[in-house]
Structure 1
Amino acid sequence: MGGAELQKAVPGAAGLLVGSLLCVLLPDRVDGPVLAAAGRQLRVVSTVSVGTDHIDFAAVRAFDGERAFDGERRLQVGHTPDVLTAACAELGVALVLATARRFKEAIAAAASGAWAAWSPTFLVGAQLQRKTLGFVGFGRIGQATAARLRAFEPARLVYWAPSPKPAAERAPLFAERAANLAALLAVADLVIVSCSLVAETRHLFNADTFAAMKKGSILINIARGAIVNHDHLFEALKNGNTVAAAGLDVTDPEPLPVDHPLQSLPNCLILPHISSATLETREA
């Protein structure tokens, strides 16, 4: 919708539902100008997503401060924790399998006629059994993805997060917490990103990060596109020194332009942010 158009649409609203086809669309940003345009009667901003990086909380606090009534906070902010956990975890598993087993190249081969006589080296990928799976961020979605991937008999589950996740370190996950991101990258055959987008994680994956990853490793991003520097990812995938493949359900920007260099790579599978796109999640 865009900032100016959004500001014209919200005056007089009592609530903004971000992500609804009937109101504010993701990734429209709810910031100070939008709140001011809505007016002092605005009571709630709720988003049809777990992430809230598109809501300016400093602006929300300032908005409350300007119209405080007997010290009561009048503007409430809601989101959807756990409603889409299962859907996102299933999509994470799908991206892991599709990327490790080279689905993008295989589909192209079947469609183009490149599929010829059987060969033992044709489109050989990687299996998950006895691999080390690394998780950057290990909240609800990260743990749900790990629980599903346990069925593939990986050697280890390793995670990196600002604080320990004691429950995840016990049965049935048996996940280990890495000392830091570098320690995780050094051992992980697959790196699955499911952390929040905050100032500290913006472009967390960049040229230095990719250089530190294990040779032949795979990157999966089901979190937010801006956590990955896409120009640096392109260079890493093209030279193949460390990162062998990537699977992205999120990009920066969204939609990712069709002429972006990543779109041309056979070892980069890009989906149009469909992690929560199930009937069950939409109904919930």
Structure 2
Amino acid sequence: MAKRKVLITRRWPESVEARLSASYDTTLNEDDRPMSADALGRAFFEYDAICPTVSDQLPAGIFPSETPRAKILGNYGVGFSHIDTEAARAAGIVVTNTPDVLSECTADLAITLMLMAARRASEGEREVRAGKWTGWRPTHMVGTKVSGAVFGVLGFGRIGRTAAKRAHHGFGMKVIYYDAFPVKPELAAETQAEARDSIEAVLREADVVSLHMPGGKENYHLIDAARLAMMKPTAILVNTARGEVVDAAALADALNRGTIAGAGLDVYEGEPVIPEPLYATNAVLLPHLGSATQATREAMGMMVADNLDAFFAGKEPPNRVA
């Protein structure tokens, strides 16, 4: 029996590519460049499975009106707002993701961004590298103390709760949160986290606001100029969720005006393009590194392979989202 044809849209860890190549007739993206919309559109008729990443945009218009050969999108990542799942469902295509395995590393990066922004680490490193540091002085690059401060979480899912654990147990921070869905009391008890009844309540009280909600239409520009104005002038915004959750122009304006003290960003709307105004602010800007450890990236790929194996064996994929 001929092997199923599988398209991997970007380079993945070698161990994952080797596993998929052993089980399937796998096409790898050797030059690791984003595929064009036309190429992705053709792939629906050339492959049995397509394995996209967040760098692949799959809006409604890319899905074929005719019956496609591809029957599953094995998404490499927990977030899938880059895929129009309703259009996939209408085309008879299953969509899976990779939850859980990247929670710890993404939470680690959220804490990294918090510390970098609070202690102005990015600014300081740039000053040293530019040869502009003139030596220690009491008023030089004074930052913000996070120990004992209030850590506000918007989106108290797996990653948000994991970040809260690090903030609470590592820095003695008080945790408050808002989630659109009920949170089991035992999950909040791990960090003595206190629920708030609105996003606005968290924004007004928190010293650090960490974003952990999904992207997509429902959360587009959730953090806009009006909500940034609700935050403390000493507060820090951290985003490791999805770029479209934050209005980047409004954030740049808020940082330049001193509406808030700083920001730590790992994701951007329209990435890899970063809005020019953000470069001129005291925001920490990282290139989407949330899950970027060898162990996590391998685990994500192996989970995609598990989803494909189950699907082609006629079983329900363990991580189906559509």
- After TM superposition, the score normalised by the length of structure 1 is 0.88
1:71 corresponds in structure 2 to none
User: What corresponds to 2:260 in structure 1?
Assistant: 243
Report % sequence identity.
35
Q: Distance in 2 between matches of 1:183 and 1:59?
A: 36
SS of 2:210's partner is strand
Q: Matches of 2:271 and 2:216 in 1, distance apart?
A: 18
User: 1:249 offset after TM fit, Å?
Assistant: 0.1
Is residue 87–residue 275 contact of structure 1 (8 Å, CA) maintained in 2? yes
Query: Would you say 1:57 and 2:73 are equivalent positions?
Result: no
Q: Specify the SS of the correspondent of 2:229.
A: helix
Deviations 1:257-284, CA, capped at 9 Å, x for gaps: 4x7110122x111111111111001111
AA aligned opposite 2:289:
I
Quote the residue 1:141 is aligned against: 159
2:191 is aligned with 1:173: yes
Task: Say yes or no: does 1:264 pair with 2:283.
Answer: no
- Paired residue type of 1:13: Y
User: How many angstroms does 1:179 deviate by?
Assistant: 1.2
Amino acid at match of 1:195: M
Residues of 2 paired with 1:38 and 1:56: CA distance? 17
SS in 2 for 1:16: strand
Distance 1:152 1:76, change over 3 A: same
Q: 1:280 is matched with which residue: 291, 295, 307?
A: 295
Q: CA RMSD in A?
A: 1.7
Match of 2:177, SS?
Answer: strand
SS of the aligned residue for 1:36 comes to coil
**TM superposition shift of 1:230:** 0.6
Q: Is this contact kept in 2: 1:215–1:243, CA < 8 A? A: yes
Does residue 41 in structure 1 map to residue 57 in structure 2?
Answer: no
**Preserved CA contact (<8 Å) 2:65 2:91:** no
The answer as to 2:261 corresponding to 1:253 is no
Aligned-pair CA distance for 1:32 = 4.4
- Shift in Å, 1:182: 1.1
Task: Indicate the residue corresponding to 2:169 in structure 1.
Answer: 151
2: distance between equivalents of 1:154 and 1:253?
36
Matched residue of 2:74: which SS? strand
SS of the residue 1:275 aligns to: coil
- Asked if 1:18 corresponds to 2:37, the answer is no
The 5-angstrom pairing of residues 92-241 of structure 1 reads: 92-165=110-183, 166-170=185-189, 172-240=190-258
Alignment: residue pair count: 264
| Unaligned segments of structure 2, at least 5 residues | 1-34, 300-322
Aligned amino acid, residue 247 of structure 2: N
Q: Report the Cα distance in structure 2 between the residues aligned to 1:49 and 1:214, rounded to whole angstroms.
A: 33
